[in-house]
């Protein structure tokens, strides 16, 4: 489940999302669909359903091209260290002694 890296600071701003990476001393800004993808990852750790939504917005019958674009954006976010895999939650119960 990809999520924003914990060392980042980010906020919604007019027209999109602003992200500060203090380790790289660099700002990023995402607008349009980039902002939608970022918010989906931050809130849910998934972009499920976005390709279909983007295809509907474009009046397209296929979401395959949209999914390719989403995957490419996520890869770029990962390559720059802006997202990482969320730690897996440990489940189960402990036995009483």
Residues with pLDDT less than 50, the chain? 92-97
Q: What's residue 1's pLDDT?
A: 82
The whole-model pTM stands at: 0.85
- Give the list of residues 6+ apart from residue 12 with CB closer than 8 angstroms, or none: 35, 39
Q: What's residue 91's pLDDT?
A: 54
Position 93 in a domain: no
Range of the domain at 42: 2-83
Q: What's residue 3's pLDDT?
A: 92
List the structure tokens of 34. Answer: 């980039």
How far apart (Å, rounded) are the C-alpha atoms in residues 11 and 69? 23
Q: What's residue 23's pLDDT?
A: 94
Position 69 in a domain: yes
Nearest in space to 38 (alpha carbons), one of 14, 57, 12, 20: 12
How far apart (Å, rounded) are the C-alpha atoms in residues 92 and 78? 30
CATH code of the domain covering residue 69: 1.10.10
């Amino acid at each position: 489940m990809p999520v924003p890296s914990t060392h980042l600071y980010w906020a919604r701003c007019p027209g999109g999302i602003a992200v500060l990476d203090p380790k790289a001393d660099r700002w990023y800004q995402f607008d349009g669909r980039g902002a939608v993808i970022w918010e989906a990852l931050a809130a849910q750790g998934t972009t499920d359903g976005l390709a279909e939504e983007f295809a509907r917005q474009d009046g397209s019958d296929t979401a395959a091209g949209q999914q390719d674009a989403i995957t490419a954006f996520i890869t770029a976010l990962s390559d720059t260290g802006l997202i990482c895999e969320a730690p897996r939650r440990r489940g189960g119960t402990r036995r009483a002694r």
